Amino acid sequence: MFGNRVKIDDELYAKAKKCAELAGYSSAEEFIQHVLEKEITLLMGSDSDGGDAPEEIKKRLQGLGYIE
């Protein structure tokens, strides 16, 4: 899942880790991935039908702890 690595400043990572804990994510990496996915979707647009793919919905629900 996390095959590629991106280096970020230690201070920024600490902030992301704190936000992940406050928002209930299982890890800082999960939070960072979600934030990037949201921003990329905003910049590039979503699916042609305007809805989320079932895989994306499943990932979001897993991230929130509703499903395993």
Nearest to 34 by CA among 68, 2, 10: 2
The pair of three-digit structure tokens given for residue 17, joined into one six-digit string: 């880790």
Residue 20 resides in a domain: no
Mean pLDDT for 53-68 is 81
**3-class DSSP assignment, residue 63:** helix
Output the pTM of the full model. Answer: 0.61
Percent of the residues in the chain that have a pLDDT greater than 70, as a whole number? 87
Domain that holds residue 60: 27-68
Residue 39 resides in a domain: yes
Q: Quote the Cα angle for 50-6-60, to 5°.
A: 35
Q: How far is CA 66 from the centre of its chain?
A: 15
Per-residue model confidence (pLDDT) at position 22: 95
Residue 3 resides in a domain: no
Per-residue model confidence (pLDDT) at position 56: 80
**Alpha-carbon gap, residue 22 to 39, rounded angstroms:** 20
Per-residue model confidence (pLDDT) at position 15: 96
Of 6-10, 37-41, 56-60, the one with minimum mean pLDDT is: 56-60
Query: What total of structural domains would you count in the chain?
Result: 1
